[in-house]
Structure 1
Amino acid sequence: MINEGIGEYEADDIRKIVTRILQDLGNPEPPLSLAHVRALLDLNIGYYSTANTTLLQDVAARMKVAGKQVLQRPMLLVEAVTKAKLSALWVPDTKRILIDEAVPKPKHRWIEGHEVGHSVIPWHREFLFGDNEYTLDPVCHAIVEAEANYTASQLLFLQQRFSQEARDGSLEFKAINAISKRFGNTLTTTFWRMVEDRDPDSPVFGMVTAHPHYPEIGTGEDGKSIRYFIRSRAFRERFGGVVPEAAYALIQRNATRRKRGPVFDATDVLPNSNGEQCEFRLESFCNTHALLTFGVFVRIKPSMVIQF
């Protein structure tokens, strides 16, 4: 789903890996069964609790890379998971995906797809338990996570199958909701994929934010109102100067006080890279957890010419 920050060659390799997996599964119809994926890849799944650390301690005690014990103090893994607030982890030695049981069930599918990504990307194994300066570098970590997310997106949305079906309908939340059910994915992940990949040649942006009138809805743990700013390829190319705050200002200007379902449907303007004012069709929906808003380019507004 998130392809910004991923190298062209890495993205191509990931697509080839996913293509092979889907072919080995017989190019299944949506929704993709992750149980079938785990069976194909010989992966196991389990659940852990930070309140009961027995499982994590056992995993840490058994954790080896190239036959060498990784952690002499199993509690270090427990401390690391707790401190980093990890939702899940992949344990290569036992080919096991572990998910925090406190994570809401609707999020498990994406999280599992993400960890499958770590398991099938060959170059990820060396990063997961490394301790050198490169593997601990925040930029490197962000790239590795983006690659796992991209793999999850390619898997769960069956690569181009989703884009092809999405283009058959209009970009609106009614259609997003319908196709999310068909592919078995959450509204938020489907919304993200619709913005990025339904029509990459059309300037489209999406935002996952707090509700301007109800900060308790959607505000991140860091206290920020803007959680994600999603952009199609054409938007990045033609509206590169638009910062997240400028797009969120449109939401603040148009948001109604509805707390659930459709929040507003409006038109507003953003400047393109040439400084021209461009009209966008906006639609916003609240799922009670956050505000999801997309904007679709309509036209460049004609310049006003005053004649004397």
Structure 2
Amino acid sequence: MPRFTPATPRSRRLGRELRKLRDAKGLTGEDAAKLVRCSSSRISRIESGEIKPRAGDVMELLVAYGMRIDEEPATSLLEQARDLREEGWWQRLGGRYATYIAYEEEAAELKNFEPMLVPGLLQTERYAREVNMIGRESDKDTISQRVAARMTRQKVLHREPAPLRLHAILSEAAVRTEVGGPEVLREQLDQLVTLSRLPNVTIQVLRFEAGAHLAVSSGFALLAFEQDEPPLGYVETLAGELFLESARDLARLTDAYDNLKTLARSPAESVKFVKELIRHEA
């Protein structure tokens, strides 16, 4: 059976290509559904990326559209379908967290703001453990699983040939709050300085003096993708996580982020500030 999951850039890309082929043949979704003996809603979900079809499903559609399956673009589309069906390491986590990681794995750029904590992609293992212990002190298995997932996530900053471009803005509270105590904080601050040297990582610290701003109440992320994929917004709240795709919502997040960049210390000033905190903690 096909998998019903939130659309990802890769599944949407495959769906778009299949729709182009259908349109080129002058077929409606209902026409295609009749040719492969399925519902028109299933065709729609495949084309929107909501369904990750089997390679066999894609092959049936390609044949119905008059394509030779041993030639391009059919061979590439079949390979894409096979790749989509492979389990990602994050899928065992389940829920919206797993969905977010799937997007993060495919993103080319991530802009992140955190009002109280160091962002997950920049956390040390000890800091991550302390963060994940909040409210879960007795659930050791869940804590270990989430910490391991966070460490694995960080590989996107070093992937080849195109590491994720990360621009992280942290509030001053995030770099001053002693999560796990002074030793854990010092280690975390050292990590921020080290990661700031990566050419694909930019870190800014929002000074206390900045006062109220557009994102004062919650952290959020803006993910950008290659190949004309639309961007995605992600907002964390006490009630859960939200994925935002509308132009209006994305414009609001972009405005908020641009405002934060202006209010925050420059990248160079931010690293200098973190180093001063390290000396103070020593």
Which structure is higher in RCO with an 8 Å CA cutoff and minimum separation 6?
2
More strand by share: 1
Bin the TM-score by the shorter chain. Answer: under 0.3
Q: State TM-score, norm by structure 2.
A: 0.26
Give the structure with the larger helix fraction.
2
